[in-house]
Amino acid sequence: MAVKNKKYLFCVIVLALLMLSVSGSGIVFAHTLPLNLMPMGTELAEQKEETQENCLISKYQFRSQSSKESIMEFYRKMFTNQGFQEVEATPPLKASLKFTYFFTKENQMILVSFSNKVEEGTTTYYVHVHEVGPITGAR
């Protein structure tokens, strides 16, 4: 696949993700994840999975006592160790204005998005994992 097509596919997936995030559709399941997948002081609030035209989307909502900066430090390290690369917004935004971060690897894209409101010292954020390819059913 040419680089141009990868960028197009990435943009389509991002737009679809943003539309799904706003719609809030799907069934919600709350259960725990392995602790190594969450920063300290963080709890899983919601989880749901969707399958759409060869794309499996796993969505997680978290609430954390940690700051946005320490949460992103945790995920940058974890995703880098798993072979993901962070994709910068164009044009780049100042860290204080940036609420959405993207990571890609082969047929996967991860979106980390923060709510711009912090309530009672709790940071609410979302992690969406997109896997593109032949889908045999939700996991």
Domain definitions of the chain by residue range: 3-132
Sheet holding 42-52, edge to edge: 42-52, 55-64, 122-132, 108-119, 100-105, 85-87
pLDDT digits (tens, 9 = 90+) for 94-127: 666 678 899 999 989 999 999 877 788 899 999 9
pTM: 0.67
What pLDDT does residue 109 have?
Answer: 92
Average pLDDT over residues 11-39: 43
Average pLDDT over residues 58-74: 93
Q: CATH topology for 3-132?
A: TATA-Binding Protein (3.30.310)
Closest CA to 82 of 111, 107, 104, 60: 104
What pLDDT does residue 110 have?
Answer: 92
- Confidence check: pLDDT of 55 > 90: no
pLDDT digits (tens, 9 = 90+) for 32-50: 345 567 898 999 999 999 9
